[in-house]
Every structure is written in structure tokens, then in C-alpha cells.
Structure 1
Amino acid sequence: MIYRNNKLLAAIRQLPCASCGIEGGSQAAHSNLLRHGKGRGLKASDAATFPLCVPCHMEFDQGKALTKAEREQLTMDWLAWTHIQLIENEMIEVKR
């Protein structure tokens, strides 16, 4: 079963766009990598989600400006950045 968490997605939408930095209007963009649970007709785990504004989200998912390797590296970088922001800004509860 793929991990789903509406509270996590709501917190991610509060962060600025991971790509351009614009605040307000971020969407919770799911990873498109198979290792994060992405499949035909399936979204990846909510744990593999990062904030992107609408234009950046569309460009990232459908644009041709990035290679597969660049898209994969950005995904990993943005996931790490997102998790750091959520924890350091105490937007999610971290169990110790």
C-alpha cells in the first residue's frame, strides 16, 4: 500500500516553490520515480513529495528542457530540501 498523508501534503503546499522560490500557490508535486512508488496510473508515496508552483510543476512533468538524469537529480534534491524545511520549521511532528 502506498503511503498517503493529507496533513503532510497540506504542510508541503505551505512551502515556497522548490524550483523558483515563489511563495504562495505551491502544489504538492509527487516524484515520478519508480523507486518512490510511481507506476502507471499511480502516484508515488506522499513521503516523496515536494512543493512546486503551477508553471514549475507543469514544466517539470511535461517540459523537454531537462534530461532524465537532470529530472531525477532535481527530484532527489527537492525531496531532501522539502524534508529539511518541514522538520526545521516544525511543520510536521518528528517522533523521537
Structure 2
Amino acid sequence: MSSLTREEVEKVSLLARLRLSEEELSTMTEQMSQIVSYVELLEEVNTDDVEPMAHAVEQHNIFAEDAEHESLPRDAALANAPKRDDECFRVPAVLGD
């Protein structure tokens, strides 16, 4: 049974831009270790006779009517942005100058 270290969970929380208290960090370390153990258990299942599939249910082209909904206010959307410029998200350049 594999378990995650506290340092690995800290790294994941930083990548996800989450600030965890010491108590939350301990809880998340335990819970994420349990998840990894469960995935390892699933890897032991023999799937030789199971046909690969892209979807669990064979349903295609299920459409919903377009409907207008109130959007999230700009200030709320930008509230958790790591970088912002007045009314926009700031992101690293992808294509260059």
C-alpha cells in the first residue's frame, strides 16, 4: 500500500493554489493516501475480457436547449486570480511576441 508524504500533498496544494492549515494538510495527506491505495486496488482487477470503451453508456448527440443564464460577476471571477490586470486575467504568453 502506497501512501503520500506530507511534502507531496503540500506540493499538490501549491500547484492547485490552495492554502491548507496544518490540520487540513494532515487530513488531506491521510485522505489522498487512501485514494491512492484504492486506485492500486483497482489496478489489480483482471480486465482482460473487458472491451475497451470511451464512454460507459452508449449515448450520442444529446443536446440541451440553449438558455440564457446570469453570469458570475467580473469581480467574483477575478477574486481568486493569481494575476490580474484591471479587469482581465494575466496569463503567460504562449505564442510569443
What TM-score bracket applies, with the shorter chain setting the length? 0.3 to 0.5
Give TM-score, length-normalised by structure 1: 0.32
Structure whose alpha-carbon radius of gyration is higher: 2
Larger relative contact order (CA 8 Å, sep ≥ 6): 1
Task: Compute the TM-score of the two structures, normalised by the length of structure 2.
Answer: 0.32
Q: Which has the higher helix share?
A: 1
